[in-house]
Structure 1
């Protein structure tokens, strides 16, 4: 299996769908909370940031 098998045109169309479970407050909220705690007074670097689904709310929280 290659990445092309996973990331096809259909996956690309769904990636930014705000109704996707990866955008739900139950998933995103605890993720941002955890990362904000790790960041403390420091900075955070998100690799493979994509659309900023996690980075944007994290910046809003600690920025």
Structure 2
């Protein structure tokens, strides 16, 4: 159960950072155009994979 809560925690933190970054980047006009060309699914997948990778490294170190 603790592992599940950790995964949920990492996912929530990751998505919060991701949403914050999209908001910040959307205010920069030059970045906005390039940022919109990449599908949201790609960004979400990237964030999730980073979270999972970090989680497995964290577990293996302990």
Q: Same fold (TM over 0.5)?
A: no
Q: TM-score, normalised by structure 1?
A: 0.32
- Whose relative contact order is higher, 1 or 2, with alpha carbons under 8 Å and at least 6 apart? 2
Q: TM-score, normalised by structure 2?
A: 0.33
